[in-house]
Structure 1
């Protein structure tokens, strides 16, 4: 056994001149893959996750789940609309643990995704009614992070107890 380990320890890949591999266009023609990471050190049971999320997400078509280890996984949806719907309705959690979703772009590797940002809905309370505008919501929101949108009516105003 030690002999095999010693032989394998000396193996290495070397670069050869003129050896290139040309990779063609992706097989998947639209972007319907979401990468997921659970923000916990505890191992998560993917079968349970898939079963529960299928009933919660109520996608038009089914999706596949592939384990990548380190509490990361890929969701492959049958259509892009289902993937977009799941992203839009987030953030999501499972068994009290938040998980981040990231829509993969063409050529993007999961191992390069840092999962250091997440879209969250926030409510702003106590803002005087006449100041509940899109601009004020955006100004306050940028102190927390980047703002994707502010929920206001067609007049760029929010009528309610909070923004």
Structure 2
């Protein structure tokens, strides 16, 4: 059996089919997010992929690709799933913030800065005299 597997090859037409699928994925970022974990540590990609796929559980499925440089491409197959993930931010993996950004038409995933994300901060026991827009701006900055 090992000899049979060692001699296993793809036919030329099968190889071409795989190359065409890769080209389509490379050009179509319509329902894609690019992300990275905010950490200097090594991120175990298979764990990230399995955890995120189970956590988000998108209706149309998800394809998660390691782009290198601690960047990941999250490809969805409909806008509802993308909106659900974006609306649920912030997301974390192993207690590390995941910075996500939607890929716009004409953008390349490796060109995105991935330097900010939005999230809520709740402040307790703030004296009522300090509940102003200016104070909120200072907290936000």
Q: Between Structure 1 and Structure 2, whose CA radius of gyration is higher?
A: 1
User: Which segments of 5 or more consecutive residues in structure 2 lack a partner in the other structure?
Assistant: 1-25
1:4-55 per-residue CA deviation (whole Å, 9 max, x = no partner) reads xxxxxxxxxxxxxxxxxxxxxx964x83100011122322222211211122
CA distance in 1, matches of 2:130, 2:82: 35
| CA RMSD in angstroms, aligned pairs only | 2.6
Which residue matches 2:58?
A: 59
| C-alpha distance after superposition, 1:56-114 (max 9, x if no partner) | 11322210011111110100001111111111111111112221000111111223222
**Greater relative CO, 1 or 2 (CA 8 Å, sep 6+):** 2
TM-score, scaled relative to structure 2: 0.69
Kindly tell me the number of residue pairs found equivalent between the two proteins.
116
* TM-score, scaled relative to structure 1: 0.60
- The offset of 1:128, in angstroms, is 5.5
SS of residue matched to 2:118:
coil
**1:117–1:141: structure 2 CA closer, same or farther, 3 Å change rule?**
farther
Q: Distance in 2 between matches of 1:140 and 1:105?
A: 34
1:126 matched residue in structure 2? 125
More helix by share: 2
1:2-151 mapped onto 2 (5 Å cutoff) = 28=28, 31-127=30-126, 136=132, 138-145=133-140
Q: Which 4+ stretches in 1 moved above 3 angstroms?
A: 127-132, 138-141
Unaligned runs of 5+ in 1: 1-25, 147-163
